[in-house]
Amino acid sequence: MAFEKIRGTYDLLPEDSLFFYKLKKDIEKIFELSGFYYVESAILQPVEIFKRSIGSESDIVKKEMFEVVSNSQSIVLKAEETAPLMAGLSEKKILESSVFTKFFYFTKVFRHERPQKGRFREFYQYGCESIGDFNKFMDGEVIELGKRILNHFKVSHSLHINSIGCNVCRKPYLDNLKDYLRKEKDNLCDDCKRRVETNPLRVFDCKNEKCKKVTSAGPKILDNLCDDCKNDFEGLKDFLNINGIDFIVDPNIVRGLDYYEKSVFEFVETGGKLGSQSTLIGGGRYRYKKDEIFKNEITGVGFAGGVERLILSIPEDVKKNFVDFSSLDIFIVHFGGETFKKGVELLKMLRENGIKSEISFSEGRINKLLSLASKKKAKYVIIIGEDELSKGKISLKDMKTSLQKEISINLEDLLKEIKNGD
């Protein structure tokens, strides 16, 4: 092979593409049913959007951005969907709309990380954003949607929730935590020594036993929430309980990006299909402060899920069932000449009536063509030969039962036969 694929990328080809296509349509449908509207930001973005929102100290901004060579501006491939969307949505007119407050997307995202199971450099995220200040119904609806998608594809999972406070209580807590961790620095692993300054909450996520000991003895964010945040968190838990959604309060859920506040949550895969990248969906509540990029302050709640991770988590038999939907209703077999003309006429009629149908591109060798119809999973085959044509009829073969009958060339008769067969 002259050219190797670019690392961390892949092409969507049959049969993977068939399932992907179906999955995308199903996810979109689920969002639509809850009143969410489709949106998608540009792939090319100014780097500032990500620096301002997810933090210039985050790994994503520091080392995972794909830069585009361009003569003037600093352009990157989007590393995330929420920030670019918020930049656009922060326009006053859209914000003031009482109709357009809930959005969903299904889009490509780029991050220059070392690929591994469930992690790519060019990949898809699906997700949603619900704009507005904290409201347990809003946060609950978003969480419920995440769960609905996972349930739709029969993915085994658990929901972890936490609150990381707001701009009132978060800052004092973080300062407090930093002070504590600095004192305990000698008892932390090398990674965590670094994290104390860059992202102290992340220390809670460390797998190292020594670090766990330090965090378990240190200040907890849930004990340091302001009254507002405390009430909001309790409200959300009530809502989830009332709706029968199981959850685990997990102080280790901290989210990596700067813009999060209050409710944060993760859906984690529990079937052992994902390896170490087991987060299926990550999300929470966020606040974008007004500046040159975000035209007005904007708050909301949303989540993002990795499509490739979702696909990896879906049981094989479930995948198979979804792809079978792409079978063919009718395959038309002809023998050239007049029989072909009649076939084309029929084909047009069938398609205009919403029946998924194809005609053979070659003629004769009926055993080959039936074999092809079989592989295409055609439910019926219409055979148009000289015999049939001379009688003004066609043969309709039911591929499941092998039964075949001659019927007149007439759309209504044909539709009736197909209906009976179902």
* Those residues with Cβ within 8 angstroms of residue 333's Cβ, 6 or more apart along the chain or in another chain: 343, 360, 366, 369, 370, 373, 381, 382, 383, 384
Closest CA to 330 of 362, 358, 361, 370: 358
Give the other-Cβ count within 10 Å of 252's Cβ.
Answer: 15
- Tell me which H or E stretch contains 16: helix 16-33
CB of 124 to RNA, least distance (A): 8
From the number of C-beta atoms within 10 Å of its C-beta (0-12, 13-18, 19+), residue 267 rates as buried
Tokens of 280: 């299926």
Closest CA to 397 of 387, 408, 410, 406: 406
CB of 321 to RNA, least distance (A): 18
Closest CA to 270 of 185, 148, 159: 159
CB of 205 to RNA, least distance (A): 7
CB of 268 to RNA, least distance (A): 9
Report the residue number, 211 or 236, with the smaller CB distance to RNA: 211
Report the residue number, 91 or 406, with the smaller CB distance to RNA: 406
Report the residue number, 73 or 374, with the smaller CB distance to RNA: 374
CB of 22 to RNA, least distance (A): 19
Rounded to whole angstroms, how far apart are CA atoms 266 and 253? 7
CB of 406 to RNA, least distance (A): 8
Report the residue number, 321 or 362, with the smaller CB distance to RNA: 362
Report the residue number, 147 or 255, with the smaller CB distance to RNA: 255
Rounded to whole angstroms, how far apart are CA atoms 386 and 343? 12
Report the residue number, 173 or 331, with the smaller CB distance to RNA: 331
Residues of this chain that bind RNA (CB under 7 A): 1, 4-9, 58-60, 63-64, 80, 111, 113-120, 123, 125, 191, 195, 199, 202, 205-207, 255-257, 266, 275-277, 279-282, 304-306, 308-309, 335, 364-368, 370-371, 373-375, 383, 385-388, 395, 397, 399-400, 402, 404
* Those residues with Cβ within 8 angstroms of residue 90's Cβ, 6 or more apart along the chain or in another chain: 288, 290, 294, 295, 296, 297, 298
